[in-house]
Amino acid sequence: ARLRSFTAAAIELGTTQPAVSQQIKRLEEQLATRLFDRIYRGIELTEAGEILFSHVQAGLQSIDSGLIAITEQHQHEVLQVATDFAFAAYWLMPRLHRFHKVNPDVDVSLVTSERTHSMLRADIDVAVLFGDGRFKQGESHWLFSEEVFPVCSPLLI
């Protein structure tokens, strides 16, 4: 009814126009009344159709409100964490299970990049960056010193 066309309704429902027409015909037979007037290139609701449409629409809106309420109950916060791939893979990921135990309603979304500027976007909540801590955006806190040393075959020494 909302689309004023059985063909448009069929497309929206992912079915065929004859299938929609058949279901409408069955409903009209069950109710022993016409719900639609078939007009050139479309349909219009009859008085009975208008009554049924308003009740069905109210019911669907009520169902939608219930689904939204349930979804909101189970909705988790998302913490966007940006860092480079190596830090995410070798340091952060192995520790995430402990974070989830303490914060079960927070989902962590990792954003990895090798470019510092792409990690300082507005949608990033926390960025773990390498450097001296003097970044143009945000507030920085020192986490730990990084030890870097070469590793090679003894034959090369």
Where residue 51 sits, what CATH number does that domain have? 1.10.10.10
Query: What is the model's pTM?
Result: 0.48
User: Ramachandran region of residue 142, left (φ > 0), alpha (ψ -120 to 50) or beta?
Assistant: beta
Same domain for 86 and 136, yes or no, is yes
Q: For residue 139, what is the domain's CATH number?
A: 3.40.190.10
Supply the pLDDT for residue 117.
60
Q: What range does the domain containing 55 cover?
A: 6-73
What are 60's strand-pairing partners?
none
- Over residues 3-25, the pLDDT tens digits come to 888 988 889 888 999 999 999 99
Residue at which a domain ends, from 40, 57, 73: 73
- Are the C-beta atoms of residues 142 and 133 closer than 8 Å to each other? yes
Q: Report how many domains make up the chain.
A: 2
114-120, Cβ contacts within 8 angstroms, sequence gap of 24 or more:
114/84, 114/85, 118/82, 119/82, 119/83, 120/82
The secondary structure of 1-20, three-state, reads: CCCCCHHHHHHHHCCCHHHH
What are the tokens at 122?
A: 């507005």
Q: Tens digits of per-residue pLDDT, 116-152?
A: 666 677 788 888 888 777 777 778 888 888 777 888 8
